[in-house]
Amino acid sequence: MVDRPLTPTEREQLSAYLDGQLGGEEAAAVAARIAGDPRWRAAAGQYGRLDAVLGRWTAPRMRRDLTAAILAEARRTPPRPAWFRWLVPLAAAASIVVAVMLSIDEPAPRLAAGPPPSDPLERVVQAMPQEDRFVVENLDIFADYDVLENFDTLEALAALEREQPGT
């Protein structure tokens, strides 16, 4: 299979061999693969050409001293006013206060206490948390007691109906 390229693991192993980083047995195994497998031989040739090109390359020289240029720019930039140094921490603190204030739930407004409802279903619904009450009041499927026999709410309803037969 000459067409299939080496896997990343095989390429890493070949690179380590060419860099002289493998031990005796591993190096001998890779050398045998290079000698016997055209894929390994071709990849070793590519690495050899790449190494030769990189050996001739030299890094470009800086035209001027980079440290001196950075320091000169820092000297030219005017310092920030004193109030600016306090702006960032104050803005962060204000953001935290706003986030805390928004995360606090306001208690639901209490309605004037009146006589308890006479309907057992209404008493159970009023005793539920607001989210559960919405579901029970607004979804038709919850009106079918057979569907929800196992739910605590319906068990409470059944207990109330047993207490007050005929209502």
pLDDT tens by residue, 68-109: 888 888 888 777 777 777 888 888 899 999 888 888 877 666
pLDDT at site 32: 92
Answer whether residue 15 shows pLDDT above 80. yes
pTM of the model: 0.35
- For residue 1, pLDDT over 50 is answered with no
Map out the domains of the chain as residue ranges.
Answer: 1-80, 120-163
Q: Is the dihedral of CA 46, 49, 52, 57 positive or negative?
A: negative
**Distances 89 to 80, 86, 152 between C-alpha atoms, Å:** 15, 6, 50
Instruction: Please name the residue that has the structure tokens 């002289």.
Output: 20
Residue among 40, 33, 32, 31 at smallest CA distance from 7 = 40
pLDDT of 160: 75
pLDDT tens, 118-156?
777 777 777 777 777 666 666 555 455 455 455 566 677
Task: Tell me the average pLDDT across 43-49.
Answer: 88
Q: Would you call 4 helix, strand, or coil by DSSP?
A: coil
Instruction: Give the Cα separation of 104 and 87 in Å (integer).
Output: 26
